[in-house]
Amino acid sequence: MPQREIVQEALERLLQWPEIARSPQLGKFLDYIVQRRLEGDEQAIKAYSIAVDVFGRGDDFDPQSDPIVRVQARRLRGLIDDYYRGPGADEALQIRLPVGRYIPEFVERPSEEPAAVPEPPPAAVLPRARPRSRFLLAGLGLAVGAVVAVLLVQWPRSPGNGSAVGILERPTINVVEFQNLVTDAAISPRVAGLAIEMVTDLEQFENLRVFYRSGVEDPATSGDEAANTFVLTGIVRLEGDEVQYSAILTETRSGSVVWNQTLSVSQAEAATPDILDRVSLSFGLVLGSPRGPLHAAARQLMETASPVENVNLYLCRVLFDRFRETGIGTDAQDTRACFEALSEADKQDPIALAAQASLLFEYADPAESEAMPLADRVRMAQTNLTRAINEDSISGFIWEQQGRLHEGQGLLAEARADFASSVQLNPASADALADFARLLAFGGDLTQAEPMARNAAEHSPNPPAWYFAVPTLLALRDGDFVKAVENAELYAQADRELGPVLAIMAGQQAGNSDVVNRYLPQVLDAPSFRAKGVMPRLRERISDDGLIEQIRRALTEAGVPWTALTRSF
């Protein structure tokens, strides 16, 4: 072990780094595990002791039901990695937190080696996940099917009628350990612990109930909600030179497979320490998505039922997610009516407070605008979000809503910190990834935004139009102007300011005058541009001077008058 003084100095530098210093809990967490390691007391570095000594949990703390240590460890690990990619890249000794452990490692860098931590390889973008037909998965997963059959028989079911509004509670998903079908001793894909990794990821979605099941001998405790209960099983097998991780989602009431997906990686990748995290993220982007298979029943229900009859917090969240996808006023009104119909206790739930804050800020009909000016709505929204964060500071959803509020106010540095917290807390949230990527790209950091934007737009189901800001910029960068037009026209459905602007840029590069002529009137008719001028308004949203200049040239070439570019018109 390195000298204690050297480790202490490295620790102090980490604790003083602003990204860690702004979170006293994370600093206390880091100091706690490092000091225990220096004292040779590694046995004390366990989830229970960390929860009690660092996060103030009681003696009855249960790490299975309370994920705070796992969540904060992931958040701390991400910040440490960022530090050693940036300001700490030249340090001779690095304090690292390995994946799946809480005992820190002290890594000494030989002086002759380059100090900079290498950038992640292109594989930071998830490998292509290939859906499989039910027929093919049935052939691959006979052993898994047998396990599922036993689980469905053994676990109790409820006679409840899931078709009634209010009866349908948030989905319950029981995650069973994946089976390793690779028999070649020379190939050692990582499999053990994948179910736990997926539970850890999916637990960050407040609209899910997630349980770990080691196998058929582990009975369920949630069979009373079989109307919206699922079993997730999986297999790992060799297919040619690739290792395939296949996940199968079964609905317990009918026993039918409702979703399956296979992720193929090389044999070398399957043996790397981070492969379980990557596989879990790939599946989590689908299972955690509001448009994923776990929420299909609720979405169908709310399409046909009254949004104010026999609702619960979960169904209101389903409506909120629908509004976030469409931005349509009627969806906003339905969502508000749903929250208003909740009990007083549910209205004060941190998730409800955060969702209502976003609704308050992002949508107002003309009558509301006259009765309550924007400044008053912003103050009310911030009050709700402050309460929500105070009550649930590890909710990625809540931090995402605060990020959107700060971004809308033009407080871009604050929004960046909010979105960073949201992604660290829930890296499988496609909405948070798309939000953060957009802000990074508009700030000039397209490289950092790229993997997040691709994961959101390419690996989550049915991505909404507002996901396509960064894909438009990436297509422009790569010279794929036809794709840039396609993405920009999607984005223009969600963003009435930047969407048409990006469409004009893409149309010019593609030599498509029809696209330019179609979106030019939309730019000139945008109320915010008319009130402030096009470029002054865009500078409130874009901090990248290079992108601002590209936009200015494109709009000038398209024929936007100089007066409209620079001042109100």
For residue 68, name the pLDDT band (cuts at 50, 70, 90).
confident
156 with 281, same domain: the answer is yes
CATH number at residue 380: 1.25.40.10
pLDDT in tens, 421-475: 999 889 999 999 999 999 999 999 999 999 999 999 999 999 999 999 999 999 9
Query: Is residue 138 domain-resident?
Result: yes
Q: Are residues 136 and 238 in the same domain?
A: yes
Residues 135 and 174 in one domain: yes
Asked, for residue 441, whether it belongs to a domain, the answer is no
Pair 286, 140 in one domain = yes
Identify whether 46 is part of a domain.
yes
Mean of the pLDDT values across residues 181-190?
88
Give the pLDDT of residue 81: 86
The residues facing 266 across adjacent strands are 242
Q: Which of 437, 474, 431, 472 is nearest to 452 (CA)?
A: 437
Read off the pLDDT of each residue in 469-489 and give the average, rounded to a whole number: 97
**440 inside domain:** no
| Dihedrals phi, psi of 257, to nearest 5 degrees | -75, 120
Q: Which residue has 């899931």 as its token pair? A: 162
20 assigned to some structural domain = yes
Q: Which amino acid is at 300?
A: Q
What is the reported pLDDT for 370?
A: 62
Q: Which of 96, 118, 140 is the last residue of a domain?
A: 118
Together in a domain, 60 and 180: no
Q: Is residue 444 part of a domain?
A: no
Predicted local confidence at residue 164, as pLDDT? 39
The pair of structure tokens assigned to 349 is 């739930």
Q: What is the CATH number of the domain that holds 457?
A: 1.25.40
Same-domain check for residues 276 and 133: yes
Same domain flag for 388 and 315: yes
3-state DSSP assignment of residue 284: helix
Instruction: Judge whether 246 and 137 are in contact, CB under 8 Å.
Output: yes
Residues 147 and 280 in one domain: yes
- The residue segments making up the domain with residue 59 are 4-118
Query: CB within 8 A of 416, min separation 6: which ones?
Result: 403, 436, 439, 440, 443
Tell me how far apart the alpha carbons of residues 569 and 527 are, in angstroms, rounded to a whole number.
10
Residue 433 lies in a domain: no
CA distance 476 to 502: 9
The rounded percent of the chain whose pLDDT value lies above 70 is 85
User: Which of 247, 262, 297 is the last residue in one of the domains?
Assistant: 297
Residue 163: CATH number of its domain: 3.40.50
Burial of 232-245, coded b for 16+ CB within 10 Å and e otherwise, reads bbbbbbbeeebbbb
- 545 and 468: one domain? yes
The answer to whether the CB of 424 falls within 8 A of the CB of 443 is: no
The pLDDT assigned to 18 comes to 84
Amino acid, single-letter form, for residue 261: Q
What's the pLDDT score for residue 550? Answer: 96
Q: Are residues 141 and 290 in the same domain?
A: yes
What pLDDT digit, counting tens, does each position of 336-393 carry? 999 999 999 999 999 999 999 999 988 877 666 666 788 899 999 999 999 999 998 8
105 strand-pairing partners: 96
Count how many domains the chain has.
4
Residue 448: its H or E element:
helix 446-459
149 shares its domain with 207: yes
Please indicate, yes or no, whether residues 150 and 292 belong to a single structural domain of this protein. Answer: yes
**Is residue 18 domain-resident?**
yes
State which of 246, 269, 297 marks the end of a domain.
297
Question: What pTM was computed for the model?
Answer: 0.75
